[in-house]
Amino acid sequence: MTTPEGAGFDRDARAWRSPVAWLVLLCTFAAGLSFDLWTKYWSFEHVAPEPVVLTPGQLVEDPDYRLPWHPGVEVVPPDLLDFHLVLNRGAVFGIGQHRRGVFIALTVVAVCAGLAVFAGWTDRRSRLSHIAIGLVLAGGVGNLYDRYVYGAVRDFLHMLPRRHLPFDLSWPGGSTELFPWVFNVADVLLLAGMALLMIQAFRADRAAARAAAQESGGASRSSRPSDSGKASSGRASDSS
């Protein structure tokens, strides 16, 4: 697979040299991170009957802390989306519980990798790639903030609540819900950014294939006059 910019990527036009590319990246990052942190704050203030106030380091000092019970809030009927508060001590969608240090380290590495991809793998005109990387960075840093400050990630989005798997099926954890995971805006930003990067890579591969085909066709066309010229000169020598 080629880089997102295709086979004709000009290394002198890398994104890190472009103020506009940095502006797109940083604006996307700032907007996504602000929206994620604000929605977490709002949900923990308003979804439960009483505001849930978390202090820095609280969940590290008290790993057995549990949120007060609350019924949740139906947002998109019928049973498409609820707001329901959850403290996630794992990764995206609750995977890998109680691995705080590991996920902090992995997130830092992922953020550095995202910046490296922006600087060395995209050029200044690739706006879709810059937006995608900004979304990934915003999602990663949003959850990193929660994990570092509070000891767990604040989740509140529950898709397809009260809908269950058919035929009495269940997930490995025992849940029979169709979608048992609760997530947040940062998770959505991460997945959206990765999807955009995949789309950009697919588009770049197609562009590179078209460019290679055009170059191949041009080379074959340019060789034809010389071949015909050789044939003409051969006929002339035979007649002489």
Tell me which residues are annotated as active site.
155, 187
**Tokens at 149, concatenated:** 């400050």
User: 73 near 83, Cβ under 8 Å?
Assistant: yes
155 forms bridges with which residues in the sheet? Answer: 86
User: 97 near 151, Cβ under 8 Å?
Assistant: no
Strands (E), 38-143: 73-76, 81-88
DSSP 3-state of 155: strand
Is the C-alpha dihedral spanning 197, 203, 206, 207 positive or negative? negative
Cα gap 187→190, rounded to integer Å: 5
